[in-house]
Every structure is written in C-alpha cells, then in structure tokens.
Amino acid sequence: MLRNCSFLFLLTFLFACGNDNSKPKDLLALSNDTVYVNIDKRDTLFVCNFEKIKDLDEEVRIPLSDLVDKIDFVRLETTEESYLGKWPGFNVTKKYLGARENRATYKLFDRKGKFIKEFGAVGKGPGEYTTLSADKIDDETGDVFLLPWNRKELLRYGKDGKLKNPIPLKYGTVKGSFDIKGDEVSVVTIAFRPENVMAQTFTTSGDSINAMRAGHVATTHGYFSNSLFSFGNTPGVIDFHAWWFHPIRNDSLYHYLPHENRFKPVFTLTFKEKPMIHTYMELPHHFLFSVSTSKQVGKNSFSTVPLGVYMVDKRDLSVKKIKLFNDFFGDADLYPFFCFKNGKFVKNIPAVTLIDDVTKMLEENKKMSKKQRSFLEKFVAETNEDDNPILLIGNLKR
C-alpha cells in the first residue's frame, strides 16, 4: 500500500535521506573475484564477473528513496496543441520539461507543466524532422536543440519556436547523443563500420575540433536493432554503450572525452562462455546492468528473456540482484533503465493508469484519513482519462 499517502500528490514529496559521509575506500584492496578494478595512469575500469552472480535467485528490494532525494508531482497542461501520446520521452531541466515523440513535434513546458510552445514540424524540409535522437534545452536562453536521425545538422530554435541557424555537422548521425558546453558541441552516434566516425566535436559555427572513428565499437552494418544508449547521469561527459542484439557482443560502458579524443572505459562485464544481451547504466554511486538471453520466436524473429537487474556499488564493490520499487508512490515496482536520465528520475504515468491506481487505493485503504481521502477523490474528479501524462520527477543523490 501507499507509504505516507498524505504526501502522494503534493507538489513536492518531502522525503530526504542523510548524506553518505563514509570515506573513500581502497578499491584495489576491495577487489575480489566477483568485482574488481583495473587502474592505470589515466583510468579506473570496474569489472564484474557475471559467472559469479548468474545463479543469484533472491532479489534485494531497493527503495527509490535510496537513490533519489525527493519527488515532485507535475500535471502537464492538456490542450489540442500540447497533447501527447501515452509514452513520450522527457528531458527535464531546472526550468523546463521537453517532450519528444516519434513523428510528432517537440513540445516545451515549464517546470510546473504549463505548455509553452511546439518546435518545428514533421517532415523533411528546413527545420523539420521525422525522428529525433536527442534534445537539449538551454535554461538561460530557452533555446531548444534537436538532433534528428540521418541529418548533418543540429537544429536550434529560440524559445519563441522560431528556427535559428542550424549547427552543421561534418558527419551524419543515427541514434546519437550530444552535449553542449559553451560554444562547443560533442556528438556520439552509432556507427556501422570501424572506419566510420562515431564521435565528433565542433564549434557552434560548425568548425571541426576533432573526430574519432568507431573501431571495435562499430555495430553490424545496416542492422538497426542494435543501438546506442546514453543516459547522461555523469556530469560533464557523454556516457554511452553500444547495445548489441545481433550479433550479441560484449563491450564496455564508456565516457567520451572530446579533448583527449578517446573513449574511456569505466565498466564492463565478463562472461565465461558466449556473451549475453546486456544494458549498462551509471549512477553517481553505482553501476546498474541488466542481462537477458535471446529466444527465437519465429523464422526470422527473436525476443529477449530477462534474467535480472544487478547493482554494483562503486564504494565497496558489492554486487546484488535487485528489484527497484517506488516507495514514494505505493511501492510500485520500477524498471530502472530509462527512468534515470541527465541526473534525474523521471517517470511519466498515463492519466488513465493513474486514475485506476488511485481509485484502487481509495477502495482498499480503509485506514486513510478524511483529509487524504478528500484530496485523492478531488484529484480523480479533476483528472480525465485523456489528459496528458502525469510526471514524477526527482534528482539523483550525489
């Protein structure tokens, strides 16, 4: 049931945990045959031996409050112009909420959920796009940057929605990610051949600073089920890993260091036999990874069978199989990947789903106070099934 349900739909959930004041430990001394570190003059690489943990059955339940300081509840304004589908992706900054969907215009809201503007149009003309790989919002100017698929330009719009001069890219991108620091732009993209450029850095006027070829990180040519994941939870770097579905390969989680023009490996798995499908994510104090197997379901079709989600603690090298749950909201189970991005927890819940969940709470929780019940009944009464998604937003603990 809901923990402290009187706080459920307040604009700010007032859950906070103490800071971790433990001193850094000697990682080399803590290294073991399950998790160990390789340290050289430049890098520290965390390595987890999956053979040692593959038979773990018990899942340790991890509350979201261990990772996130508090939760804000945001109801997005619903109008004909601002209407979103059920599962848009969100970019959350201090001032803005950006919503990205396939074959739909990019939409900007303020942090209270008030709709501001949509940007560009779906198409192939100037300032238009069909699919977006990534987006950034400049909190100071309100400018919006959009990276379309298969284009050699980064689109830039003012807060008023008008297209500014696009930033030219020397090399095209597919399934990419990018970062902007001052007048420098860094882009990482999936690459289909070792000789293809996978990372590039250039000025906002389009002058090239450096570029890096994919090498061993290149994916199978033309196989679009492979992808590149970048979650951006490490300040100041583009973190990424190539997600391999066909053929399944082992690789590392990297940081792209543009001024050193290299990929810095920070975490990897080892497998005794052939690699399994895996996904990596870095958090401030942990690495998360999921492992799955591939199952053929048709003559030319495959699906994945998940084995579990695992957490490695950077501070003591402990590893556990986990089940994350949202103790801010009814202890609901959470799949961590794609909930944590750019240093934030963002969970969007379709209005119809939230109405059903709250209605069930009202029916089952007989100990709820009159004040709590009145608040939730009012919430349900004011929410329509076709409203825009409801957002739960929090900052990762540092």
Distance CA 94, CA 100 (A): 18
* 369 domain residue, yes or no: no
What is the model's pLDDT at position 49? 97
Q: What is the pTM of this model?
A: 0.86
More confident site: 345 or 27: 345
Contact 109, 96 (CB under 8 A): yes
Whether pLDDT at 17 is above 50: no
What is the model's pLDDT at position 250? 81
Distance CA 385, CA 243 (A): 35
What proportion of the chain, given as a percentage, has pLDDT over 70? 91
Whether pLDDT at 343 is above 90: yes
What are the distances in angstroms from CA 190 to CA 150, 173, 174, 309, 340? 11, 7, 6, 24, 21
* 158 domain residue, yes or no: yes
Integer Rg of the chain from CA: 22
Confidence of residue 277 (pLDDT cuts 50, 70, 90): confident
CATH number at residue 123: 2.120.10
What proportion of the chain, given as a percentage, has pLDDT over 90? 62
What is the model's pLDDT at position 135? 96
Q: What is the mean pLDDT of residues 196-217?
A: 93
* 83 domain residue, yes or no: yes
- Mean pLDDT, the chain, whole residue set: 87
Whether pLDDT at 3 is above 50: no
Whether pLDDT at 134 is above 70: yes
The tens digit of pLDDT for each residue in 31-51 reads 999 999 999 888 999 999 999
Burial class (CB in 10 A: 0-12, 13-18, 19+), 87: exposed
Confidence of residue 64 (pLDDT cuts 50, 70, 90): very high
Contact 251, 270 (CB under 8 A): no
Whether pLDDT at 7 is above 90: no
* 22 domain residue, yes or no: no
Find tokens 């089952």 and name the residue.
364
Whether pLDDT at 12 is above 50: no
Contact 173, 189 (CB under 8 A): yes
Confidence of residue 377 (pLDDT cuts 50, 70, 90): confident
What is the model's pLDDT at position 14? 32
Q: What is the mean pLDDT of residues 261-277?
A: 92
What domain count does the chain have? 1
Sequential DSSP letters for 282-329 = E-SSEEEEEEEEEEEEETTEEEEEEEEEEEEETTT--EEEEEEEETTT
- Beta-sheet pairing, 151-157 with 167-173: antiparallel
* 372 domain residue, yes or no: no
What is the model's pLDDT at position 225? 65
* 333 domain residue, yes or no: yes
What are the distances in angstroms from CA 186 to CA 179, 224, 227, 236? 5, 23, 18, 11
Residue 29, φ and ψ in degrees, nearest 5: -70, -30
The tens digit of pLDDT for each residue in 72-116 reads 989 999 999 999 987 899 999 999 999 999 889 999 999 999 999
What is the model's pLDDT at position 219? 80
* 353 domain residue, yes or no: yes
Confidence of residue 373 (pLDDT cuts 50, 70, 90): confident
Q: What is the mean pLDDT of residues 283-304?
A: 86
* 26 domain residue, yes or no: no
Q: What is the mean pLDDT of residues 353-366?
A: 84
What is the model's pLDDT at position 179? 95
> Which tokens go with 143?
């400018």
Show the domain range for 79.
5-14+31-362+382-395
Whether pLDDT at 28 is above 50: yes
The tens digit of pLDDT for each residue in 225-237 reads 678 899 999 988 8
What is the model's pLDDT at position 19? 45
